Amino acid sequence: MPDGRPSIPAVLRRSVLEEAGYSCAIPTCRAMTTEIAHIEPYAKVRDHTFDNLIALCPNCHTRYDVRKDIPKASIVAYKRNLAVLNGRYSDLERRLLEEGAGYPPGQWIPIHIGVRILIRNLIADGLLTEVDDFIYKITGNDLGGIKTTEFYQFTEKGREFMERWRDAEPLID
């Protein structure tokens, strides 16, 4: 490093990248990345700590650090929201929340019954709900009477949750 600062220890690097799934922590970006940014500049804190580090892609890192067009308050909020998401939701649930933000209201999401256990907290929290059995029975999605796929959709509450994440608002009041 040009300013003589120590590099980020490998274990810490990995934890920070894992926290964001090796993707940019900005919900509307989510580009794959292995780059890490300091929330408070290193020059100020002179330390590497988990709470002050966040995975950002090279573009967003430049927008934050150099061009200053992403406010620090937003980055702090994204970091805090990652902790909420990781503490509560599975990898599949987080991917659904990322993808779902771009879905039109009422979009059906097929889920194989074998992975239903991985979405149970989204359902328990009322963010995702199964499409009414009757509606998809009459569309002929039951092949030979053996149901292997269920259809889900985000609830109004789920859509609000995704909007709060995107807008860097607290996910939990």
List contacts with Zn ion (CB under 5 A).
24, 26, 29, 31, 57, 60
User: Residue 126 and residue 151: Cα distance in Å, rounded?
Assistant: 15
Cα 126 to chain centroid, rounded: 17
**Least Å distance between CB 71 and Zn ion?**
15
Shorter beta-carbon distance to Zn ion: residue 20 or 57:
57
User: Residue 77 and residue 117: Cα distance in Å, rounded?
Assistant: 29
- DSSP state, residue 48: -
| Alpha carbon separation from 59 to 21, 75, 78, 111 (Å, rounded) | 17, 14, 16, 33
Shorter beta-carbon distance to Zn ion: residue 60 or 96:
60
**Least Å distance between CB 91 and Zn ion?**
19
Shorter beta-carbon distance to Zn ion: residue 29 or 123:
29
Shorter beta-carbon distance to Zn ion: residue 60 or 77:
60
- DSSP state, residue 59: H
User: Residue 70 and residue 109: Cα distance in Å, rounded?
Assistant: 32
**Least Å distance between CB 59 and Zn ion?**
5
**Least Å distance between CB 150 and Zn ion?**
33
